[in-house]
Amino acid sequence: MTTAGVVSPRVLIVEDDPELRAMLTALLQEDGYDVESAADGHRGLHLGLTHHYDVLLLDRRLPAVDGIDLLGRLRGRGVVTPVLMLSALANPADRVRGLDAGAEDYLGKPFDVEELLARLRALRRRHLDTARSLPVGSARLDTEARQVMGDGEPVALSDRECSLLATLAARPNQVYSRADLLAIVFPDAGSEIVVDTYVHYLRRKLGRRIVTTVRGRGFRLGAM
């Protein structure tokens, strides 16, 4: 979703209580987020692995796949999106378990709405600071300056080239289909051909190995 050219931050809510899920969805949409939601861990896992989000909001107790297990599976597949875990289990031992599983923050239920929103903003700020510089093999991608820095001269990238490379570099072991990359990087384009075009541009500037083609599946980050 965009408003006057500004891209809304994307959040995934995984919460099995339909009333709370609806309330969180409305609250975050009102605060400017582009919201997707899931009612169980299986659906949450699928969305977390196949879509790009700026922050994840996970319930601790979920059907199908428990919130701790869901978080462990996402981290194990290279998903580094910051996570705020919500739970009625708010004693210190449960908080420690959630944080040790990979959550950046943990908030007990019931919670204060303004505190929840403030914690989400803080997670996004910290993540943006980290994401400004991403490893690309032996080089680094500076997403703010839109350039790749290695042993030689920095290589300048266009906005879309930078966005495509940053998406691949944020999850270097994940294979993205053309449809995934179209939705994440080129939401205004009408054809998956644009993905192949920009893969070609990156290879022309950074070498053919920078993006690996996985036959029948899509693309993942390669090497400089």
User: Worst-scoring range by mean pLDDT, 33-37, 76-80, 217-221?
Assistant: 76-80
Query: What is the rounded average pLDDT for all residues in the chain?
Result: 86
Report the pLDDT value the prediction gives residue 90, as an integer from 0 to 100. 66
Q: Is 83 helix (H, G, I), strand (E, B) or coil?
A: strand
128 has a pLDDT exceeding 70 = no
The predicted pLDDT at position 5 comes to 41
- Residue ending a domain, among 97, 115, 131, is 131
Asked whether the predicted pLDDT for residue 122 surpasses 50, the reply is: yes
Q: What's the CATH code of the domain at 123?
A: 3.40.50.2300
Provide the whole-model pTM.
Answer: 0.63
Given pLDDT bands bounded at 50, 70 and 90, which one contains residue 7? low
Query: Which one has a higher pLDDT value, 20 or 130?
Result: 20
pLDDT for the residue numbered 131: 57
Instruction: Specify whether 138 is located in the same domain as 118.
Output: no
Give me the sign of the Cα torsion angle 197, 203, 208, 212. Answer: negative
Do 71 and 139 belong together in one domain?
no
Q: 148 and 127 share a domain?
A: no
3 state DSSP class of 118: helix
- For residue 157, what pLDDT is reported? 93
Q: Are residues 20 and 122 in the same domain?
A: yes
Query: Is the same domain home to 16 and 118?
Result: yes
Question: Residue 97 — very low, low, confident or very high, per pLDDT cuts 50/70/90?
Answer: confident
- What is the dihedral sign for C-alpha 18, 10, 213, 209? negative
Q: Give 71-89 pLDDT, tens digit per residue.
A: 988 887 767 788 999 988 7
Residues 29 and 17 in one domain: yes
Please tell me the distance from the alpha carbon of residue 143 to that of residue 167, in angstroms, as a whole number. 11
For residue 202, what is the domain's CATH number?
Answer: 1.10.10.10
Question: How sure is the predictor about 2, in pLDDT bands with cuts at 50, 70 and 90?
Answer: very low
- What residues are paired with 142 via a beta bridge? 133, 147
The sign one gets for the Cα dihedral 207, 168, 101, 54 is positive
The span from the first CA to the last CA of the chain, in angstroms, equals: 33
Express each pLDDT in 141-198 by its tens digit: 887 788 998 888 899 999 899 889 988 888 888 888 998 888 878 877 889 999 999 9
d(C-alpha 208, C-alpha 224), whole Å: 8
